[in-house]
Structure 1
Amino acid sequence: MMGAQRRAVLIAGPTASGKSALALERAQASGGIIVNADSMQVYDTLRIVTARPGAAEEALAEHRLYGVVPAGQRFSTGQWVRAVAAVLADGAPERELIFVGGTGLYFDALTKGFADVPEIPEQVVLEVKQEIQALDEAGRRALLAREDPGTAHRLKVADPQRVLRALAVKRATGRTLSSFQSDQQPGLLAEWDIERLVLWPDRDVLRARIARRFETMFSSGAVQEVEALLAQRLDPALPAMKAIGVPEIAGWLDGTLTRQEAVERAIIATQQYAKRQRTWFRNRMGDWPRRTL
């Protein structure tokens, strides 16, 4: 006799939309396990800056994959997928898993599958970026067609970012991006009973929440976190070093920005990020039920 189908709840949404609070409410009601699906909340050091659940929230329900990666490391989507696979393997089958976050690629990996492309060295990316910098759209397409015809054929527009990605993959691995994508495995939750949800607050409400949240962060420990991060003297190109709030607070600490300028820039950067997230969810998760909190 086959066991009951395992259950997962997927809660996506832009930053500051109330995802973590909803996930905690659900976990307390069901006894479920909350699993991080946010690419910045995997890093340590930056609990406040990345709005990770605090100790009080973690005491109320089991949380997984939060703050588990040193800020001095890169953590790819492929690594996240492997970490989630380990969570699936050791979780109690009767407990639902509640995935919550704002990283669209992570939800794609759960529901549609993921092409596990190796991490590309920064030097390769920089070399390709310099090579295509002076090329127009036709030039980029011609170069890509020589090295990865499959990707070149698939792209409607050979925009710099997509061409850069495809060429860097080919140069670093010897394989085309399209070949990795053709090997894509099924979504991790392909056999699960899945409940999907995208939080979709009113834009003005979200803007106000973002402004309030960063003001609170600035005065409740975010500055000390950035000081601790800077003390590690990490490569500025690392994801943790580019987390929204880090460059802005660093600018205030070194005197190049006033406190007000740092706060305003961080709020604007967060609003721009939320806009990009909403665009992704609209285009890639258009069939997911929406909820306004």
Structure 2
Amino acid sequence: MTGKIEAILIAGPTASGKSRLAVELAERHGGVVVNADSLQVYDGLKILTARPSDEDLGRVPHRLYGHVDPRSDYSAGAYLRDAERVLEDLRRQGLLPIFCGGTGLYFKALLGLLDPMPEVPATIREKWRARLADEGPEALHAELARLDPATAGRLSPRDGQRIVRALEVREAGGASLSGLQGGEGKALVDPDRARMIVLTPDRAELRQRIAGRFETMLEAGAIDEVRAFEATYPDAGATAGKAIGLAELSSYIKGDVAYGEACVRAVTRTRQYAKRQETWFRHQFDVRWLRISPRAAISQASEL
């Protein structure tokens, strides 16, 4: 580690060991782990979103975990504003920020590779959410295809959340979402002064890690967490509601599916999500990112 390095970025698929590596590096370099995962920002889902353990929280400082109300909408733009405040604080203290997570858009935002998104007024947001509830995602996808065919072509007709987001942004900003992704945003992290790492686990090993981690979540009280979350946040937003395991365990609690089936569904969804993350990182991150296996990263932590 040289004096020129101002930040470390650690990306990778879920269950690949990012948090362990981040804590190791934070201890070695006097750093602070900063969340870069779109679900770990939410309160109430510490177990299911695999937020850092109490042990890790005691070893090094962590920031931007569990600070968002699950009923709130939270975008890459909102994350960037929060991250900027954290960075200013850490730089004043002379502490190294170590960004860790699996949300690729957050990393692109940090590096200035996303254009600033317009603020969406509540009236526009509520209008499109109401239309989604009334008409369904396929109908709105057809409208998006007419208004912004480039963005519509990248979205599934069943992905109501992202379809609505694209329509909201277009109405609020007067431009298509695809037209606002030219990579002219404000960079908070200079890639030439950052160490950027993508963990690339063996596929078979990752599948085993995902299954084992879900078992650990269940042992840690994931079912009780789901009960408490739904009681506290019955009107949780669409993003927080996407936490893998939430819908599956909720169905089990309600008696709609057997326990074993709920677990299989959650593990399967997690594996599918990990595969999508791996594909995204492979196509979106350039050669400046060091691609390394989790095992090698830990053994070479002193050199990273």
User: Normalised by the size of structure 2, how large is the TM-score?
Assistant: 0.82
Distance in 2 between the 1:214 and 1:88 partners? 33
Structure 1 residues 209 and 179, CA, compared in 2 at 3 Å: closer, same or farther?
closer
Q: Which residue of 2 aligns with 1:124?
A: 128
Sequence identity of aligned pairs in percent? 43
Task: Give how far 1:125 is off.
Answer: 5.1
Deviates more, 1:155-164 or 1:30-39: 155-164
Q: Gaps (5+ residues) in structure 1?
A: none
CA RMSD of aligned residues (A): 2.9
Q: Which residue of 1 aligns with 2:89?
A: 90
Task: Give how far 1:241 is off.
Answer: 2.0
Task: Give how far 1:69 is off.
Answer: 1.1
Q: Which residue of 2 aligns with 1:12?
A: 11
Deviates more, 1:205-214 or 1:120-129: 120-129
Q: Does 1:215 align with 2:215?
A: yes
Q: Which residue of 1 aligns with 2:300?
A: none
For the residue of structure 1 that corresponds to 2:33, the secondary structure is: strand
Task: Give how far 1:7 is off.
Answer: 1.1
Q: Which amino acid aligns with 1:25?
A: E
Contact 2:141-2:163 at 8 Å conserved across structures: no
Deviations 1:249-287 (A, max 9, x none): 111111111111111000001001101100110000142
Q: Gaps (5+ residues) in structure 2?
A: 296-304
Q: Which amino acid aligns with 1:11?
A: I
Contact 2:197-2:292 at 8 Å conserved across structures: yes
Q: Does 1:227 align with 2:227?
A: yes
Q: Does 1:275 align with 2:262?
A: no
For the residue of structure 1 that corresponds to 2:251, the secondary structure is: helix
Deviations 1:1-22 (A, max 9, x none): xxx7561000000000000000
Distance in 2 between the 1:136 and 1:226 partners? 31
Q: 1:133 aligns with which of 138, 143, 152?
A: 138
Structure 1 residues 76 and 267, CA, compared in 2 at 3 Å: closer, same or farther?
same
Q: Which residue of 1 aligns with 2:302?
A: none
Q: Which residue of 2 aligns with 1:260?
A: 260
Distance in 1 between the 2:285 and 2:273 partners? 17
Residues 124-203 of structure 1 mapped to structure 2, 5 A cutoff: 124=128, 127=131, 130=135, 133=138, 141=145, 143-144=146-147, 152=149, 157=153, 160=157, 165-177=165-177, 180-181=180-181, 184-190=184-190, 193-203=193-203
Distance in 2 between the 1:47 and 1:156 partners? 33
Contact 1:5-1:191 at 8 Å conserved across structures: no
Task: Give how far 1:114 is off.
Answer: 2.5
Q: Which amino acid aligns with 1:23?
A: A
Distance in 1 between the 2:151 and 2:26 partners? 41
Structure 1 residues 71 and 262, CA, compared in 2 at 3 Å: closer, same or farther?
same
Deviations 1:32-79 (A, max 9, x none): 011000011111111111000022111110101011112222221111
Distance in 1 between the 2:153 and 2:238 partners? 29
Distance in 1 between the 2:112 and 2:62 partners? 24
For the residue of structure 2 that corresponds to 1:70, the secondary structure is: coil
Distance in 1 between the 2:110 and 2:141 partners? 36
Deviates more, 1:250-259 or 1:4-13: 4-13
